[in-house]
Structure 1
Amino acid sequence: MSSPGDKTTLTRPQGLTTAEVAERVARGEVNRLAERTSRSIGEIVRANVLTRFNAILGALFVLVMVTGSVADGLFGIILVVNSAIGIVQEYLAKRKLDRLALLNAPTTRVVRDGAVTVVPTTDVVKDDLIELRTGDEVPADGTLLTSAGLELNEANLTGESDPVPHGEGDAIMSGTSVVAGAGRYHASQVGAEAYVNRIAADARKFTRTRSEIQDSINTLLKYITWVIAVALPITIWSQWNTVGEQGWQQVVIRSAAGVVGLVPEGLVLLTSVAFLLSAVQLTRRNVLVQQLPAVEGLARVDVVCIDKTGTLTVGEIAFEGVTPLEGHDEDEIRCGLGALADDPNANGTLTAVAAAVESPGWSRTQTIPFNSARKWSAACFEGHDTWLLGAPEVLLDGPGPIRDEVERLADSGRRVVLLARSAEQLTEAVLPGDLVPCALVTLTEQVRPDARATLDFFREQGVQVKVISGDNPVTVAAVARAVGLDVGEPVDARTLPDDQDALREVLGRTTVFGRVTPEQKRAFVHALQADGHVVAMTGDGVNDALALKDADIGVAMGNGAQATKAVAELVLLDGRFSHLPDVLAEGRRVIGNVERVANLFLAKNAMSLVAILAAAVLTVPFPFLPRHLTLVSAVTIGIPAFFLALGPNKRRYLPGFLGRILRFAVLAGVIAGLAVIASYLLAGSTYGVPEDEFVSRCTVEAGTKTVSDVACWQPGTGATITLLVVFFWILIVLARPFRPWKVALIGAMVGLAVLAFTVPVARTFFNFDAPAPLVWQSLAVGAVGAALVELVYRTSSAVKAAHHLPD
């Protein structure tokens, strides 16, 4: 049996034998990769479960459960829900992308045991004899053994849309496709060794999308962790001194209540929910979100880099028109052009013509197919002249008015071919001597009908657009003008400097770039980022993969290369560029609404810290049980935040998310904490039981959590009423401007809070006892706190700018 390097094996026409294929499979010389489009399920689960947030709440949940007070451990549900949301969303995105890859799995013709057979491209092995025909993808690298007019489209690697002819002995690379002719070659590089896979190797490494919201929340959690580390021993010490005689369970419950209030657990949950529902909504619009923060990321983008082919155009040429030359009849020219295009083996140019020009139905007697080397094609017809179509520089003799017109049209970005006729009946691919030029045929790249509106949208939103293509700069500029871009002077990327500072200067003043290499696309992204821009990159070819990976947001077309889709944060499943405004709108809604609700959660954290420190200094019990804070969090933060986070919000992105919420929420939380302590002390001095009788009358029975006198509940009840008033006003402030649905939402939440104090079962569950004088006293203290919150809001211009715009 021959070895892989055996020259006999590499040149024999019958291909490999079944045994030789099996031997190569055993050695791992197969055209497949041990790659994945995203993280494994295990990595997904670990990333969403092993978080600082879950560690903090998990430890507190265990402590509360040890006391036997299940009612005070309801906050633990958030642990499961938040992790499940992240896991499910990322898994569904991974599964959908993998399914797309499977549905589009390519096949390859190979010669084995002397016969041509079709196998999955991933089953091609090293040294396989591969047969290429028009429309095939080149599955592996190698050198052509035979070529019958073989031409490859290498745009997927180079960005250049013109087909490239290849003859015997020429090297061909994976990632290209056959647009004309046929050929055979041996696969010399397969799998990870193939060129297309070497390019994408770096791009396959998983990187998490940066999210300002999630970064800010993680920063908060980091600092809150240190706050908890300090506050926990303080609150345990103070609660031991105040309620220690009631048993260790009460110390744990009161301490946990304070510390749980320091964790913005709902904020993380609401952020995940907002991202998830946005992702689901976008999926219905054929946009696959592979990472949750991607919708937010696009809303922060201020520069969009787009490729011409596949983004502004559909990747196909279209017939524009025919211009008869002087002395020639247009009707006759159209008949000849239509007959010439009526070819079952038409190339791209003739296919575009056939779609627009009707065939006269002439009987064809001879065909000279198009070849890139001679750059023309021809056909002979019974009872009619021979008609030819090809490059003007080949069919014309020297300079003249016709050549001048061709150059003028070409400078506008059009593709120009010449239609000519001859009385000779051709038998060979040799130009006739009596060739008569008849007309100029112009073709253009087919511009996406939705491209202009999409680019207009970005311009209105202050987002810069850079057209970066591997094609001719003149052609790229013509397409850009066709979709309404202010092009200026296009730049040939081959003339660009390598120095990043110089590159940044050129990028700052130029819109259109042609002849851009894959490495330059990546350098463009880095230069724009170094200039402080948030960059989105769109593309569909392997040549775009590295740039997509390094961009802040990568957007791949659904019909693009698998390596490109694997690294992108967003995949436009139907390849429509017009979906990007939808994504931008979703991102803005997420950012604006999460900022609204973040203020609610952080205010609660600040309130808890103030209450913990005040209780320690004044040597009083922490004012609340965990269930009290669960109620307040639900009706003033959790439930309304859920609806606020999903409501419409069209305001533009404003940087400084964390700074704005800190300026308002911390002050509002401090006001709430001081109001709570004031209300608790006031209620304790006039209601409840005397201090010297507190232990005997308010002892908690371990496990059942019942007390012998409901009067023991009154101070905590008063503090809860005050807290509800202040936080409802914070909610009212952040919900502005009002809409009917917001008014209804707040009214419903107030109603739920009232039911907790009036329905007997709820009153007993929450340990509430509220005589009328206590209610009015607590409401009054709360009103003072609400007035101070309003004052803080009105004096905070940054918060007003972020929340008081029409939505």
Structure 2
Amino acid sequence: MSNRYLPPVETGLTAKQVKQRQAAGRQNTSLPPLTRSIKQIFRDNLMTLFNLINVGLAGLVVWTGSYKNLLFFFVVIINTAIGIFQEIRSKRQVDRLSILSEAQLQLIRDGQTLTVNQAAIVEDDLLAISRGDQLPVDGIVRTTTGLEVDESQITGEAEPVLKATGDPLTSGSIILGGHGVVQATKVGDGSFIKRMSKAAKQKHRTPSELLTVINRIIKVLTIVIIPLGAGLFIATLMRGASQNRAILGTVAAMVGMIPEGLVLLTSVALAAGAFTLGRHRVLVRELPAIEALARVDTLCLDKTGTITSGQLTFERVEPVSGQSEAVVTQRLAELITAIDDDNETARAIRTALGQPTVDVQTVQPFSSARKWSGAQFNGQSLVLGAPEFILETVPKDLAHRVDQLAQRGYRVLLMATVTALTTPRPQAPQALGLVLITDELRPNAQTTFGYFENQDVALKVISGDNPVTVASVAKRAGISGTDQLVDMSRVGAQPDYAALVTDYNVFGRVTPAQKERLIKAYQAADHTVAMTGDGVNDLLALKQADCSIAMASGSEATKSLADFVLLDSNFDAMVQVLNEGRRVINNVERVAALYLIKTMYSAALTLIFIFMHSAYPFEPIQLTPISSLMVGIPTFFLALQPDYARITGRFMRQVMEIAVPAALCIVGYIVGIMLLGHQLHLPYAVTSTLCVLLTGVISLNALIIAARPLNRFKIALVALMALLFAAVFFFGGRVFSLVSPWNWKFALLYLPLIISANPVFILVQNGLGKRVLSRIRWR
């Protein structure tokens, strides 16, 4: 420290010194963006394995000279373009919101305090930091008033560290208490947080079920698609078919196996969800979190800032032990001035009582773990905080009065004289009076929480305040089960958390470590848990939760960690977040089966026709009406439909309940048609047309089931797809290499097959399909 230039604490760097450091590149950088760059979006959407396979298949079709069979490749191009457009649109929305939620820091320059973002910091800048800030640069402490820091990002230890003047601070550290001035020593690429990229995100969340299933499908297809295609091509040639016929059949088989639309649909659905939430002033920091929140069945709420507005008001003091109200009030004003804290409680008291002049010797800033703060000043030592954490044993009459006030919704703090500011409890505390603070409910709290409970989301309140106060406020907000409350300061050092989460709904006097353990207990009981918070006392719980939500008005550390940031600090927006997540996942689940039908029957048919003495029943262009009219177009519209039902957690099973029976029916019909064609010596054009027709009809039945519950829009959509599919046969047969259905001899073949398709599909779905699915263990 002695070898480093030390700008005066009162004035900081001059404008000239700042420009010199900027010119020398000694300037900080912004955090990595939440979204991919436009270049990365293009690269990642274009350079996929399936797109590369499609390019190769298109090249083979060009080789045959059958250019109309390239239609599948134009569909791939359109799908990719839609995906790129949607992701770029979502990126721009998220980037705009990221700027609005970006951390703002206080710098001292030229004797003035400036508010800037972290990219504006230069080496040797002086940062004025306080509780809730997350340090964006490495530095040294120049001045401090009881600065307590969480360095768990670096050391792994959650215990707060007290920092003195001259002590080093590492970027990524979170200020838990006190305030001070820190000089930046390492900025940009030299800082710890830059080297450890997003150090606050220590916990990697479990991959979403939706993405896990889709990635598993892609992994399997990656292994089997090329060997199956090669096997079919060789087998077709060995049977004496022409090279062009072998190529077209192989291309049709491989195109059918690729569920490119499913990958597109999932990414577009999540990107569109982030865009929609952005319009409701909700920043989505991780797209998979949309799914995580949709699956939430337990929502843990912090009282202040979530149930209440967080705008605290000082009401009055109630002296104890014969003290004068005027004297106690004056000493409270002096204590708050001496502590010089910047939390909501301190601001409310300071606003009401002013700031008298005091001579401060020692300060113990507020800590969420200690739940009290104090100072030695004017020859006296005073503390303010939760009575249970200041007094070893709260006298019965005082405890009774605290309960009475808490039941009326007051936040009750105890002010006491002490002989020393020791931790975790001060020495020899003597009560002076009770300090009463009020906090108003959020305007639409009852409506919002009522909605969540109607949606089968259990609400749990976890707060550092008195449990009686918390329960009273929660009851006024319409949260059920508020009579089941517990004081976590009285449960002992090693309580049974599993029993606690079973027996109670309201938890008061909770320490940050206990909040984390409660979240773990809910998760161990097989619940998907979301946690809301706005202060540093919520950080551990937010990290542990499956999904975390922060208020924009909360601490910078909390916002940097959360999956969602409510930019207007309006908890009512959570209704839209939950609905959007459920809509995305329910709709993807609804239509995923339609994509997998094609994948399953294509893979099965490829394997069968390697050994069957017939050419593959489709050409690439013949699959286009099925892929577009029975899958691609209707799924796009179905994915936009409102569906806010609770997520069942049975994604793979529900998909397979439609996909497996449909695929079995299609494979059965096609094998039957090819055997019939062999017996009747039907030309390839007739058998392939029959295969296309029956595949489309069964896919239409699957579409009807996937669209349930039906409404007028869905009925019209399905009817339109059926009419367009029929028009392909009646008016576009030549384009799609199909036999005209106007021939009465041909009608004698296809009409009985069409009539039988629906009852056969229902029979397979309710019979064989269910028996097969019941034998499979789903995770």
Same fold (TM over 0.5): yes
Residue in structure 2 matched with residue 782 of structure 1 by the alignment: 754
Partners of 1:200 and 1:546 within 8 A in 2 = no
1:276–1:618 distance in 2 versus 1, CA, 3 Å: same
Q: Does 1:555 align with 2:549?
A: yes
How far does the alpha carbon of each residue in 1:68-123 deviate from its partner, in whole angstroms, 9 at most, with x for none?
Answer: 434323333454455555555555555444444544563535254xx446473534
How far does the alpha carbon of each residue in 1:210-257 deviate from its partner, in whole angstroms, 9 at most, with x for none?
Answer: 222222122222233344244223321332245633xx2221111111
Q: Does 1:213 align with 2:234?
A: no
Tell me which moved more, 589-598 or 562-571: 562-571
Q: Where does structure 1 lack aligned partners over 5 or more consecutive residues?
A: 158-164, 326-344, 358-363, 377-389, 394-398, 419-436, 690-711, 803-807
Please say which structure displays the higher CA radius of gyration.
1
Counterpart CA distance in 2 for 1:12 and 1:287 is 38
Residue in structure 2 matched with residue 715 of structure 1 by the alignment: 687
Task: Give the partner amino acid of 2:248.
Answer: I
3-state SS of the aligned residue for 1:775? helix
Q: 1:463 aligns with which of 457, 466, 470?
A: 457
Partners of 1:208 and 1:291 within 8 A in 2 = no
Residue in structure 1 matched with residue 730 of structure 2 by the alignment: 758
Tell me which moved more, 10-19 or 586-595: 10-19
Q: 1:516 aligns with which of 464, 486, 511?
A: 511
Q: 2:265 aligns with which of 270, 283, 291?
A: 270
Counterpart CA distance in 1 for 2:8 and 2:113 is 18
Residue in structure 2 matched with residue 646 of structure 1 by the alignment: 640
Counterpart CA distance in 2 for 1:446 and 1:199 is 41
Calculate the aligned-residue CA RMSD, in Å: 5.4
Counterpart CA distance in 2 for 1:315 and 1:598 is 43
Task: Give the partner amino acid of 1:449.
Answer: P
3-state SS of the aligned residue for 1:108? strand
1:747–1:731 distance in 2 versus 1, CA, 3 Å: same
Residue in structure 1 matched with residue 710 of structure 2 by the alignment: 738
Residue in structure 1 matched with residue 251 of structure 2 by the alignment: 256
Q: 2:200 aligns with which of 199, 203, 206?
A: 203
Residue in structure 2 matched with residue 317 of structure 1 by the alignment: 312
Counterpart CA distance in 2 for 1:543 and 1:88 is 40
3-state SS of the aligned residue for 1:266? helix
Residue in structure 2 matched with residue 232 of structure 1 by the alignment: 229
Partners of 2:131 and 2:176 within 8 A in 1 = yes
Q: TM-score, normalised by structure 2?
A: 0.73
Tell me which moved more, 12-21 or 536-545: 12-21
Tell me which moved more, 49-58 or 600-609: 49-58
Counterpart CA distance in 2 for 1:199 and 1:319 is 43
Partners of 1:683 and 1:718 within 8 A in 2 = no
Counterpart CA distance in 1 for 2:292 and 2:18 is 47
Task: Give the partner amino acid of 1:67.
Answer: T
What is the Cα deviation at residue 368 of structure 1?
A: 4.2
Counterpart CA distance in 2 for 1:196 and 1:204 is 11
Partners of 1:493 and 1:513 within 8 A in 2 = no
Task: Give the partner amino acid of 1:725.
Answer: V
Q: Does 1:773 align with 2:725?
A: no
Q: 1:222 aligns with which of 214, 219, 222?
A: 219
Counterpart CA distance in 2 for 1:229 and 1:136 is 53
What is the Cα deviation at residue 259 of structure 1?
A: 2.0
1:495–1:687 distance in 2 versus 1, CA, 3 Å: same
Counterpart CA distance in 2 for 1:130 and 1:764 is 71
Partners of 2:11 and 2:108 within 8 A in 1 = no
Q: Where does structure 2 lack aligned partners over 5 or more consecutive residues?
A: 153-161, 321-339, 364-372, 375-383, 388-393, 415-431, 775-779
Q: 1:120 aligns with which of 116, 120, 138?
A: 116
What is the Cα deviation at residue 628 of structure 1?
A: 0.9
Q: Does 1:724 align with 2:696?
A: yes
Tell me which moved more, 440-449 or 133-142: 133-142
Q: Does 1:75 align with 2:46?
A: no
Q: Does 1:280 align with 2:279?
A: no
Residue in structure 2 matched with residue 303 of structure 1 by the alignment: 298
Q: TM-score, normalised by structure 1?
A: 0.71
1:474–1:89 distance in 2 versus 1, CA, 3 Å: farther
Task: Give the partner amino acid of 2:740.
Answer: D
1:504–1:629 distance in 2 versus 1, CA, 3 Å: same
Q: 2:599 aligns with which of 585, 590, 605?
A: 605
1:556–1:119 distance in 2 versus 1, CA, 3 Å: closer
Residue in structure 1 matched with residue 410 of structure 2 by the alignment: 414
Q: Does 1:108 align with 2:106?
A: yes
1:169–1:227 distance in 2 versus 1, CA, 3 Å: closer
Q: Does 1:622 align with 2:616?
A: yes
User: Aligned ranges for residues 382-393 of structure 1 at < 5 Å?
Assistant: none
Partners of 2:534 and 2:555 within 8 A in 1 = yes
1:216–1:152 distance in 2 versus 1, CA, 3 Å: same
What is the Cα deviation at residue 768 of structure 1?
A: 3.3
1:737–1:178 distance in 2 versus 1, CA, 3 Å: closer
1:20–1:543 distance in 2 versus 1, CA, 3 Å: farther
Partners of 1:679 and 1:781 within 8 A in 2 = no
What is the Cα deviation at residue 630 of structure 1?
A: 1.0
What is the Cα deviation at residue 489 of structure 1?
A: 0.9
Counterpart CA distance in 1 for 2:245 and 2:563 is 49
Partners of 2:587 and 2:643 within 8 A in 1 = yes
Residue in structure 2 matched with residue 480 of structure 1 by the alignment: 474
3-state SS of the aligned residue for 1:763? coil
How far does the alpha carbon of each residue in 1:592-633 deviate from its partner, in whole angstroms, 9 at most, with x for none?
Answer: 332332222222233323433444444112121111111122
Task: Give the partner amino acid of 1:120.
Answer: V
Counterpart CA distance in 1 for 2:316 and 2:644 is 43
Residue in structure 1 matched with residue 764 of structure 2 by the alignment: 792
Counterpart CA distance in 2 for 1:74 and 1:252 is 15
1:570–1:346 distance in 2 versus 1, CA, 3 Å: closer
Task: Give the partner amino acid of 1:791.
Answer: L
Counterpart CA distance in 2 for 1:549 and 1:468 is 15
What is the Cα deviation at residue 317 of structure 1?
A: 0.6
Residue in structure 1 matched with residue 655 of structure 2 by the alignment: 661
Partners of 2:403 and 2:468 within 8 A in 1 = no
Counterpart CA distance in 2 for 1:636 and 1:136 is 53
What is the Cα deviation at residue 789 of structure 1?
A: 0.7
Partners of 1:278 and 1:586 within 8 A in 2 = yes
Residue in structure 1 matched with residue 325 of structure 2 by the alignment: none
How far does the alpha carbon of each residue in 1:141-185 deviate from its partner, in whole angstroms, 9 at most, with x for none?
Answer: 66565x9xx89999999xxxxxxx9999999999999999x9877
Partners of 2:193 and 2:199 within 8 A in 1 = no
Counterpart CA distance in 1 for 2:517 and 2:434 is 40
What is the Cα deviation at residue 139 of structure 1?
A: 8.4
Q: 2:448 aligns with which of 424, 433, 454?
A: 454
Counterpart CA distance in 2 for 1:195 and 1:476 is 39
1:176–1:447 distance in 2 versus 1, CA, 3 Å: farther
Partners of 1:312 and 1:447 within 8 A in 2 = yes
How many residues matched?
704
